[in-house]
Structures are given as C-alpha cells and as structure tokens.
C-alpha cells in the first residue's frame, strides 16, 4: 500500500471505530519504534487509549532489548494505558495482550497458540510478540505502554536468514493477505474486552482463557532467565502471569520472566 494511503486509511478507521478504550490514533508511515514514541507521549501526559501505529519501524524493539524486525506489511502498535492498579498487577498485562492477539488471529481461520509468557505462534513459529514498558511509583502506575508486533502480511524471505526458520506470518500461513484495517479493528475490540476484565480484576477469567489459548502447561521446559536456567515441567501460571515450574528435584519454582524453550522442539 502506498505510504500516505496507509496513514489515510488507518486514520479513517479511527473515525468510525467505537471501542471504549480507543481514544486517538497517531499514525506514522515510518518510525524508530512505536513503543518509544508512545512512552514519550505518555510522559508528556497523553491519555489512556492513545494508540501509536506505524507502517514500518526502523528500530523495533523486542523483549530483552532484542531487535524486532519490522518491515512493511507487519502490524506495529503501542497502546498507552493508565490502569488504576498497583504496579505489581501490571505483570499480567503482557499475557492479556497475547491473549487478545491470539484470539484475533484465530478469527482469521488460523490456530495460534501462546508460548509463555506472550509469544504468539502458528505451527510453532513465532508470529507476534508483546513488549510492555511502564513507569510507576511504589503504589501507583504512571503509565504502561503495551507494544504489539504482528507478522501480518510479510513475505518471510524479508526476515533475516536466522529468523526465517523460526518465524511465520499470517499471509504465509493463509496463502494470501489479511485486510490490515479489519484485523486492527478486531484486535482492538478484543483487547478492549480483556482489558476491561483486567481493570475489573477478573484475573481468573483472563487466566482461564489464557490457559486455553496456550500450549505451555504440562510441557517439559527449559527457562532461561538473566541469571539462571531452570529445567522442569510447566506446572501452572499464577495471577501475576508468573510461571510455576516443577523442577526435576521436585521443587516448585516461580519464574517472573525469561525465555521458555520446549524440550519437544529441541
């Protein structure tokens, strides 16, 4: 799609979209990172529900400061949130984001699954990821920026050699492009539904649905954290979104963040 046409069409969508959470779209043709822009706006007081969207990113960021390759055809957005909850509750939000993304993808006839905490995959290949960044004080969240990157209509040959065997896109899986604006609209209304649950502290329902959408629990896993490697069985996920692993020595270990590797994929 021609660049300015992208901005025009996406902005047009915001005119008739009727989703509680969505207040404003800020659309770019090209940007360094929608998360960086959304954080800057949030620091300057931008409201909850402002969404930064870009056709492509030059410096897309993933978890653990990894590069998120962001060619055109992908969906790159960051939502500013200001939940009136204590900061410790926000750790569930990336799982809320992954749940909304996975549910949306499945409405397009695919079977995506979530790998803890928030990798959305189709046929075991990564298709989407969530990056949550926030600023808080002890008892108060100032803002949360929830960044979502989805390989929507991307020819997988556009990804680097190392990524080609481990990622996929919706267009590759469907053998044809997905309507960007339609996908975006469904994604935002699905996210709105789960975010409302989150604000109402209905963490049980979110977790129940996340577990149905995930293929992690029950699997033999290796979790690589910044300081540790844990091997065991994925036993449960708690209301904070933390993984509880049952280690080989019979110990239950709570893991807040890390890379999850399935042994049956090694």
Rounded least distance, CB 83 to ligand BTN, Å: 19
β-pair type (125-136, 75-81): unpaired
The residue from 39, 61, 89, 185 that contacts ligand BTN (CB under 6 A) is 61
Determine the interface stretch with ligand BTN among 6-14, 97-105, 127-135, 192-200 (rule: CB under 6 A): 127-135
Nearest-approach distance from CB 221 to ligand BTN, in angstroms: 17
Binding part of the chain for ligand BTN, among 70-78, 152-160, 213-221, 229-237 by CB under 6 A, reads 70-78
Q: Which stretch binds ligand BTN (CB under 6 A): 72-80, 156-164, 224-232, 249-257?
A: 72-80
CA angle 97, 100, 102 (to 5 degrees): 105
Per CB under 6 A, the list member of 6, 68, 180, 203 interacting with ligand BTN is 68
Q: Binding ligand BTN by CB under 6 A: which of 73, 97, 117, 129? A: 129
Per rule CB under 6 A, is residue 131 in the interface with ligand BTN? yes
Neighbour count for residue 37 (Cβ, 10 Å): 19
For the bound state, the minimum distance from the C-beta of residue 246 to ligand BTN, rounded and expressed in Å, comes to 26
Residues 73-92 as x/- pattern, contact with ligand BTN by CB under 6 A: ---xxx--------------
Residues 156-195 contacting ligand BTN, CB under 6 A: none
Whole-number minimum distance, CB 146 to ligand BTN, in Å?
9
Beta bridge partners of 145: 80, 133
Residue closest to ligand BTN, measured at CB: 129
76/194 with CB nearer ligand BTN: 76
| Rg of the chain on CA atoms, in Å | 18
**Residues 26-55 contacting ligand BTN, CB under 6 A:** 33-35
Q: Binding to ligand BTN by residue 66, rule CB under 6 A?
A: yes
Residue 94 interacts with ligand BTN (CB under 6 A): yes or no: no
Determine the Cα–Cα distance for residues 28 and 78; give it in Å rounded to an integer: 12
Binding site for ligand BTN (CB under 6 A): 33-35, 57, 60-63, 66, 68, 76-78, 119, 129-131, 147-149
């Amino acid at each position: 799609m021609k660049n300015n046409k992208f901005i025009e069409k996406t902005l047009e969508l915001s005119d008739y979209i009727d989703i509680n959470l969505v207040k404003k779209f800020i659309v770019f043709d090209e940007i360094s990172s929608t998360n960086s822009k959304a954080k800057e706006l949030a620091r300057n007081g931008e409201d909850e529900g402002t969404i930064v969207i870009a056709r492509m990113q030059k410096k897309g960021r993933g978890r653990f400061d990894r590069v998120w390759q962001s060619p055109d055809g992908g969906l790159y957005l960051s939502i500013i949130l200001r939940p009136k909850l204590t900061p410790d509750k926000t750790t569930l939000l990336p799982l809320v984001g992954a749940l909304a993304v996975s549910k949306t993808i499945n409405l397009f006839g695919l079977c995506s699954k979530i790998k803890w905490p928030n990798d959305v995959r189709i046929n075991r290949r990564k298709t989407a990821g969530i990056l949550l960044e926030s600023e808080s004080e002890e008892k108060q969240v100032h803002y949360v920026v929830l960044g979502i990157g989805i390989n929507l209509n991307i020819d997988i040959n556009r990804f680097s050699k190392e990524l080609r065997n481990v990622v996929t896109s919706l267009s590759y899986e469907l053998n044809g492009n997905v309507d960007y604006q339609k996908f975006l609209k469904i994604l935002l209304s699905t996210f709105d539904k789960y975010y409302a649950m989150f604000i109402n502290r209905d963490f049980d329902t979110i977790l129940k649905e996340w577990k149905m959408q995930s293929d992690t629990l029950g699997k033999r896993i290796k979790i690589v954290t910044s300081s540790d490697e844990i091997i065991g069985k994925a036993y449960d996920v708690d209301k904070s979104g933390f993984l509880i692993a049952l280690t080989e020595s019979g110990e239950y270990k709570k893991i807040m963040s890390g890379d999850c590797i399935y042994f049956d994929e090694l």
